[in-house]
Amino acid sequence: MMGVPTHRSRQFRLAALGIILLTVAIRLPSLLHPQPIDSEAMYSVVANEIVDGGQPYIDAVERKPPLLFWTYAAVFKVAGKFNWKALHMVALMWTLCAMVGLYVIGRELFDRNTGLIAALFYSVFQPWWAWKNLTFDAEMLMNLPIIWAWAIAFGRSSSRVRPELFLAGALLGAAFLLKQPAAIAAVPLGIYLLLPSYRTSRSLTRTNSIIEATMLTAGFFAALGLVTIVLWKQGILHEAFYWTIADHDVPHVFWQKGIVNTLIFLGACLPLVIGAIMACRDKSEIWTGRTAERTALFGLLAASAIGAAAGARFYPHYYVQLIPPLALLAAPYYACLWSRTMQPPCWILRPRVTYAWLVLTVIAFSIKHWTGLAPRRVPSEAGRYLSTHSSPDDRIFVWGQTLEIYLDAHRRPASRYITTFPLTGYIFGGPIPGFDTRSRILPGAWTTLERDFARHPPIYIVDVQADPKTAQHPVKNFPILAKLLAERYQPVAHTAEGVIYRMR
């Protein structure tokens, strides 16, 4: 009899080790990639400015909250700037920590096998389909504190006040400071603490529930207040508020992209979707005694869907925030199927079929990841030229959205506008035929650009909008820059990315 628990413990440890190794294998394309992946370039330019003594929103403009840039800056401060392997290793560890949080929730609600399955699902489906989902981006970053906040809230406590909920609220505040839509994840968790079924399951009074919800709220605003004080002391509070909150309109809803990407997501993550549907129906009463938690997770799923759709751009990585609630809702159902404690309702959900389905999913995703990253291993031609023909102290300016050139050249930007959307009115999500974006130019942006150029003139300017066939914002449509190039610069190179001008 003594050998049974030991055997089960050994099986559990082997399964956990297998999931960790699978996660490493899934993320291997990014671990071996020698360049930043997609939006990592944008965050890295801002982070490098912080490492060099600058400040976000003043020395480098981007619209994400400050904690994201501070996280990147911390990585580069420790590992060195342009250390992409270190950044991707941190992304791996971040993923594993999120998986541990999902395991803790699954174990708390059901058992450790359910927890392992939830972690497995996150490992497989977090980088769903597109190679860009391997990016250490804001969605992956915010998932970690959200998951652990929910793990704390779902945990059992002997206290009726539950002071640990202050930490859960602070984690939700941290998630918001990594990516704005994360704030909505606090809503269903607060509602969960007020549900009658929650009070009944824990023998609480209505007053106890209100106190606990207040504790969660206090933690959330404490985190926001602390960062607000830091930004105020740095003198960038106004700029941070503008770029992270005020400068987020919805000029166009990309319905077609939304429909296509949503259908692809549902198809790629169909096992999770089926599991969530079964959790909703719950004919087998798997969630008996856990109705409050099931309601809260469906609330998180709905909130995450709202967060993914809020910008109306429907980028594939926006859907990553849906993976944690889907994994947690689906895991109990598959735990019962795979332990053969319930009969599958149809052949497609038989254990062997679902095992094969997951294996094929991993293979398909891996093929997409490897083939997507393979052509992007070499630095840009413009970046290589600038790295060779300029000195380390030279500043450069890239006209367009191709800010990878700053990183490939290892040169600092001459303007805070590391991407030129404030100067052009560029609409994130894609071009809109017949729409002149110049009506959306930030008032005073061109004056600010001239002031930046006066402080540190760009020795080189790269025009990535030089091709008249593809240019959304050709220089000729912007007289200040066109005049500057004509009077003070001369073209010195034509690269795959565009034309490089050097100061005369």
Mean pLDDT by 10 residues, the chain (504 residues): 68 96 98 98 98 97 98 98 98 98 98 97 97 97 98 93 97 98 96 96 95 98 98 98 95 96 98 95 86 97 96 96 98 96 93 97 98 97 98 97 96 98 95 93 98 98 93 96 98 97 97
- Distance of CA 152 to CAs 49, 148, 215, 326, Å? 35, 6, 13, 19
CB-CB contact of 416 with 58 (8 Å): yes
DSSP for 187-202, please give it. HHHHHHHH-HHHHHHH
Residue ranges in 282-380 assigned as alpha helix (H): 291-309, 323-338, 351-373
Provide the pLDDT for residue 5.
Answer: 64
Q: Are 269 and 326 in contact (CB under 8 A)?
A: yes
Contact 495, 382 (CB under 8 A): yes
For the packed helices 291-309 and 186-194, what is the interaxial angle rounded to 10 degrees? 160
Tell which residue, 227, 123, 228, 142, has the closest CA to residue 186.
142
135: left (phi over 0), alpha (psi -120 to 50) or beta: beta
Buried b (16+ CB within 10 A) or exposed e, 155-164: eeeeeeebeb
Please tell me the distance from the alpha carbon of residue 99 to that of residue 148, in angstroms, as a whole number.
10
Name the DSSP letter for residue 474. Answer: -
* Model confidence, pTM: 0.96
Cβ neighbours, 10 Å, residue 341: 10
Rounded CA gap, 314 and 207, in Å? 41
Positive or negative torsion for Cα 294, 332, 171, 301: negative
**Phi and psi angles of residue 271, each rounded to the nearest 5 degrees, phi first:** -55, -40
Q: Which pair of tokens denotes residue 464?
A: 């990535």
What pLDDT, on the 0 to 100 scale, is given for residue 1?
A: 43
